[in-house]
A and B are shown apart, each in its own frame.
Chain A
């Protein structure tokens, strides 16, 4: 059994003239909860479509649970649970009918886990899917995916559009149901407060490339925020080491920088700074600053 649940080698995907994935080398170890973040268009959805065998790569290879993603058998697919933001299920079917179909489909089905997760929601067996609220559908979908006993559970923006109560119920069901320890969870989200609560590992994709793979707190420790009082213009942004973001607010220069220690203060001094203050930042600001650096923006005025 491979120790990697996801393994891509030099994986590229081209849509016309646009590269959605660029020579991506990604290795996700078995176990724990891995968050994947990236700006829209970073290549997350393309990556999942390739990994689940819905889309062929332009170049390179992608393996999921040790199998070539382009040659997955129904048994292989049974080892993978998938919940996406749409929570699509046939609207005309009853909860009971769908549940029975899944029971038959998955040999590792756990009724106890299913009841456990669905217990967080007011869903009745006879209800039609079309009568469920978005939050209830999310819960039902998660219950189905967890009860199937997957080795790998992929959640793509699962809490998008859920209210705070439904969101909390979803996260509780995910984290405190007796998921087996060898189940690996891939959690795609833009919501940093959720990621801070759930993720053991933070994977950042940007423009089809892997930019970070570490526990969230290690990533956050790489980013610092500096405010300096620099008379006149301040240094050319292109010369600022590790620069993620710069803003001039009320005459002060605010810098968000990556991988800089105290020597960044020396740099600011040398640039003519009179007073200098530094502080750590939270996950939200660190990730946003990191992604904003290369985010498409109108060319500067």
Chain B
């Protein structure tokens, strides 16, 4: 009786991101793209740990962070579910993260020496792919 949805994420050791961060990023991406639909159930802590071959405490840590950020919600005795979308971070936190992301992006892209228009057009295309489907 598998009620939780398959969670297709992979982690890599040797990465500069700790494993728990890789899980957080992976699940956020699945939720943001709709691959994990609203109200679907996440694998158990132990189940995901076993799937990824890692310590269950690491999964618990990632789940706690996602819950604190509002991506997941816990239902008493049932497990963890994808939470309804709402603004998950404060405005200040979002500004800060956007600054960091833009700075990283600019650093990488500036080295490519491509016309700014081409870069922006490409970025726009990629972002459109993540635009929320307004049907929900």
- In the complex, the answer to whether A197 meets B53 with C-beta atoms within 8 Å is yes
- Mask, A176-211, CB within 8 Å of B = 1, is 100000000000000011001111100000000000
| With contact pairs A197-B19, A217-B20 given, residues A284 and B53 touching in the complex (Cβ less than 8 Å) | no
Distance of A170 from chain B, by nearest CB (Å): 11
Distance of B118 from chain A, by nearest CB (Å): 24
- In the complex, the answer to whether B16 meets A175 with C-beta atoms within 8 Å is no
The range of chain B's interface size is: 10 to 19
Contacts of B55 in A (CB 8 A): 33, 175, 197-200
Docked complex Cα distance between A284 and B49 (Å): 21
| With contact pairs A32-B57, A171-B53, A176-B46 given, residues A197 and B16 touching in the complex (Cβ less than 8 Å) | no
| With contact pairs A198-B54, A200-B55, A217-B20 given, residues A282 and B15 touching in the complex (Cβ less than 8 Å) | yes
- Mask, B79-112, CB within 8 Å of A = 1, is 0000000000000000000000000000000000
Contacts of A193 in B (CB 8 A): 13-14
CB of B56 closer than 8 Å to a CB of A: yes
Docked complex Cα distance between A220 and B16 (Å): 8
- In the complex, the answer to whether A196 meets B19 with C-beta atoms within 8 Å is yes
- In the complex, the answer to whether A216 meets B18 with C-beta atoms within 8 Å is yes
Tell me the nearest residue of chain A to B52, going by C-beta.
Answer: A197
Tell me the nearest residue of chain A to B18, going by C-beta.
Answer: A217
Contacts of A301 in B (CB 8 A): none
CB of B4 closer than 8 Å to a CB of A: no
CB of B50 closer than 8 Å to a CB of A: yes
- Chain A residue total in the interface (Cβ 8 A): 23
| With contact pairs A175-B49, A197-B13 given, residues A220 and B18 touching in the complex (Cβ less than 8 Å) | yes
Contacts of B53 in A (CB 8 A): 168, 171-172, 197
Tell me the nearest residue of chain A to B107, going by C-beta.
Answer: A277
Docked complex Cα distance between A279 and B63 (Å): 26
Docked complex Cα distance between A175 and B49 (Å): 9
Docked complex Cα distance between A10 and B95 (Å): 49
| With contact pairs A175-B49, A199-B55 given, residues A279 and B14 touching in the complex (Cβ less than 8 Å) | no
Contacts of A199 in B (CB 8 A): 55
Question: A-contacting residues of B (Cβ < 8 Å)?
Answer: 13-21, 46, 49-50, 53-57
Can you list 19 A-B pairs, Cβ within 8 angstroms, ordered by A? A168-B53, A171-B53, A175-B50, A175-B56, A176-B49, A193-B13, A196-B18, A196-B19, A197-B13, A199-B55, A200-B57, A216-B18, A220-B18, A279-B16, A280-B17, A282-B13, A282-B15, A282-B16, A284-B14
